[in-house]
Chains A and B, each alone.
Chain A
Amino acid sequence: MLKDVVKGLWRENPIFVQVLGMCPALAVTTRSIFGLSMGMATTFVLVSSSVVVSLIRKAVPPQVRIPMYTVVIATFVTAADYFLKANFFEISKALGPYVPLIVVNCLILGRAEAFASKNGVLRSFLDAAGMGIGFTAGLVILGSARELLGAGSLFGVRVMGEGFTNWIIMVLPAGAFITLGLLVGVFNLADQKIKKDTACHVTEKSG
């Protein structure tokens, strides 16, 4: 059970390992707060649609499953978009078209098709929650790195001294690719090291 949650955080992290949902990951991560709100909106859609897809999985004729999942996802995306507009007007204005675009985030249809349509409600919920948290964490890390270097602040609070010159390139699209590339590299490096360490550990034990 726990494995379902944890795999989204590390081994199958949507951003750094599966490289899914790149459109919002690259476009809205100019500020950490945008990364966080985008991640939370996506997590909401992901969790709700996974639960619903899992609930209706036995009643869905396989030929029309994709359109049915899409309708479910689009409903939750619209709900999230209106909720943000009603309660977090400023953030919703800043995220612009990227909230409605969650509907085409392949992470969501991917989890519905690969996991929720084959597993029970609880496991689908855990899977979606893990993936959502992993996705949100990825967006926040990306957003924080870019905001720190590109604007000298974190979550809107200035942390760099007055002498710091903003690296404009970091808030430009090129900065998104550079940061993402480096982070994927770091992630792989860390992953390899962990694998190596555990491998050694196992041999020691067996030896």
Chain B
Amino acid sequence: MIKNFFKSDVIKMISALAVVGVFSAITLVFVYEYSMPKIEENIRRATDEGIKSIFPEADTVEEMKHKGVFEVRGQDKNLMGYAFIAEGNGYQGPIQVIAGVDPGLRTMTGLQILESQETPGLGAEIAGDFRKQFSGLSVVDEIECIKNREPDKPGEIEAITGATISSQAVVNMLNNRLAELRDKLGVK
């Protein structure tokens, strides 16, 4: 009885599952091989374009010994500022941004969203008008995220209606990273 059982059903089930699994794995290897270089290229281009849009006159961009921090220099080799990648948790998943700041770490030059899984049309709007508020923003004090009124003090950012968590997340990750940068670069 037991012998027959093993000979028939169980073996059949295991082998059927194994065959499907192997085929699936082989297919995915090809898919991975085809798309991974393209995906990496896309990510690299997004970082480059992000820095270019924050520092339109940038000539050389060099990653510093601190990971995710880039030194941006103009044509005459003067230091234009730093671009840095910041990460944090949004409403639905991790958010990754690239931001630019002047050499004295006093004013932000711009912000680009690299990766977010926020709700399309809501939290995802951090990549829209919300982002533009950061150009020229004073970061001498911590950035503050306000609701339901126009910003009237330096360092204030208006949150997106319906996406306070995503807005606050971006502000928090910038504050954290800026504090870290001041420490690392020894700028007071």
Interface set of A (CB-CB < 8 Å, partner B)? 27-28, 30-31, 34, 56, 59-61, 63-64, 67-68, 71-72, 74-75, 78-79, 82-83, 85-87, 89, 93-97, 146, 150-151, 168, 171-172
Contact = CB atoms under 8 A, between A and B. Distances in A.
A31 B124 CA distance: 12
Interface in B78-108: 92-93
A176 to B, nearest CB: 10
Nearest to B26: A75
A72 B28 contact: no
6 contacts: A67-B17, A75-B23, A85-B35, A86-B35, A96-B124, A168-B162
Contacts of B46: 89
A72 B24 CA distance: 7
B115 A63 contact: no
Interface stretch (B8-16, B135-143, B149-157): B8-16
Interface string B23-38: 1100110011011101
Given A71-B20, A79-B27, A79-B28, A61 B115 contact: no
A96 B93 contact: yes
Given A61-B9, A63-B13, A87-B38, A168 B161 contact: yes
Contact of A30 (B21, B31, B120): B120
A31 B21 contact: no
A93 B116 contact: yes
Given A63-B9, A75-B27, A78-B31, A96 B116 contact: yes
Contacts of B118: 96
A85 B37 CA distance: 11
- The prevalent SS among residues of A at the interface is helix
A85 to B, nearest CB: 5
- The prevalent SS among residues of B at the interface is helix
Nearest to B115: A93
Contacts of A28: 120
B42 A86 contact: yes
A30 B20 contact: no
Contacts of B13: 61, 63-64
A60 B31 CA distance: 25
Contacts of B92: 96-97
A14 to B, nearest CB: 20
Contacts of B60: none
A82 B35 contact: yes
A30 B39 CA distance: 26
A71 B17 CA distance: 9
B119 A30 contact: yes
Given A63-B13, A83-B35, A86-B34, A94 B120 contact: yes
Nearest to A97: B117
Given A68-B20, A71-B20, A171-B122, A85 B117 contact: no
A28 B162 CA distance: 16
Contacts of A71: 17, 20-21, 24
B28 A27 contact: no
A96 B24 contact: no
Contacts of A171: 121-122, 162
B2 to A, nearest CB: 17
A192 B9 CA distance: 49
Nearest to A28: B120
A61 B39 contact: no
A86 B111 CA distance: 24
A162 to B, nearest CB: 16
B117 A96 contact: yes
A172 B42 contact: no
